[in-house]
Amino acid sequence: MIGGAILKARRTLQPNEVSPMAVGKVSDADFEAEVLKAQGPVVVDFWAEWCGPCRMIAPALDEIAGAMGEKVKIVKLNVDESPKTASKYGVMSIPTLMIFKDGEMASRQVGAAPKAKLQQWITAAV
């Protein structure tokens, strides 16, 4: 024990290895394949590097992705790097989260929210 805290060993991912429950990234180029043609429900977090509230909800989305596992896929789309998709879905402010099912938007959440509210919204929609 160091300073009263127990240190846990964490397995490090190899360079080409992806954690199955991690929040992924999508762009204009692969949005259709990764989101619209996905087998199950997909949560898309429309965000940008400069957006404070976007960075604030990122850890909550990581935790939700880990907790929900294979039930839902969670991905981020940077609106500065992929403006076409954001424009197509009418994203006017960020963070905006959308749940897609069977190639269609099923639900939308605009603005930052606490982890419990985000998890409840995602669970209800999937």
- For residue 64, which of 109, 32, 94, 31 has the smallest C-alpha distance? 109
pTM of the full structure: 0.82
Domain limits of the chain? 24-125
- Of 23, 26, 43, 51, catalytic: 51
- Hey, what are 109's tokens? 């959440």
- Of 26, 43, 54, 72, catalytic: 54
Can 54 be counted among the known catalytic residues? yes
How does pLDDT run across 78-120, given as a tens digit for each residue? 999 999 999 999 999 999 999 999 999 999 999 999 999 999 9
Can 51 be counted among the known catalytic residues? yes
The CA distances from residue 110 to 22, 34, 49, 53, 98, in Å, are 22, 22, 17, 11, 9
CATH topology of domain 24-125: Glutaredoxin (3.40.30)
